[in-house]
Structure 1
Amino acid sequence: MTSKVSKENAEHYVWGEVCDGWHLVKGQELSVIHERMPGNTAEVRHYHERSRQFFFVLSGQAVLEVEGVRHTIGSQEGVEVPSGAAHQMKNEGEDAMEFLVISQPTTRGDRINEE
């Protein structure tokens, strides 16, 4: 059944102790997550064996490091990460930033941390 989804009615979770995620689409073949990172936070550097991802900043500014290359992503900009590429999303600013991460197929069971 098709229905409208938003942050207000999507499944919410907390990651990295202070970051938020909302599952907008939670399927095996496609995942769309709206995430919020407070200032001066970062996720663990990792890669996915099968999933490719697209990170799209909604508000604020992000730094997405992919295979050692830093990409500064402003509001309404995005970067694709191919499967197998180690990456890390960071918010190096003081203000919170929000972004979408679109994964195909889902990343569940397909994440390998590098720490």
Structure 2
Amino acid sequence: MIVNKTNTKQYQWGNNCNSWELFQSKKAIIKEEIMPPLTEEQLHLHKKTEQFFYILEGEATFIVDGKKGVVSQNEGIKIKIGQPHKISNDASRILRFLVISFPGNVNDRINLDQ
């Protein structure tokens, strides 16, 4: 089966950010996400899950372990188990990226105070 944004589970999070679950199993979850300009998620961590973010369009600002960095189009960043992190779109255009979580722990997110 060919997978795309029209035939997968879609949900909205944050301030009009969108996510499409392209693949989900016990081993991995792959999502495509879009963040409008000037949006961000809450600082959080995962106790059992590693993540890899790959930027398809735009520029993402990450805070990982309290350090700020920018990841540009066609670049990626790995988030280790237990690392506090968040992504934001500080630019004036959309941010589109893939996030791959492994293993596929659906409820392995702990939100942290900002």
**TM-score after normalising by structure 2:** 0.95
The one-letter amino acid paired with 1:26 is Q
Aligned twin of 1:98: 96
> Which of 36, 45, 48 is the matching residue for 1:47?
45
CA distance in 1, matches of 2:46, 2:107: 9
Unaligned runs of 5+ in 2: none
- Shift of residue 68 of structure 1? 1.1
CA distance in 2, matches of 1:17, 1:62: 16
Unaligned runs of 5+ in 1: none
- Shift of residue 65 of structure 1? 1.0
Aligned twin of 1:87: 85
The one-letter amino acid paired with 1:35 is E
Q: Deviations over 1:14-44 (max 9, x none)?
A: 0014000000011121000000000000000
- Shift of residue 104 of structure 1? 0.2
Number of aligned pairs? 113
Q: Which runs of 4+ in 1 moved over 6 A?
A: none
3-state SS in 2 of match to 1:8: coil
Counting aligned pairs with the same residue, the percent is 35
RMSD: 0.9
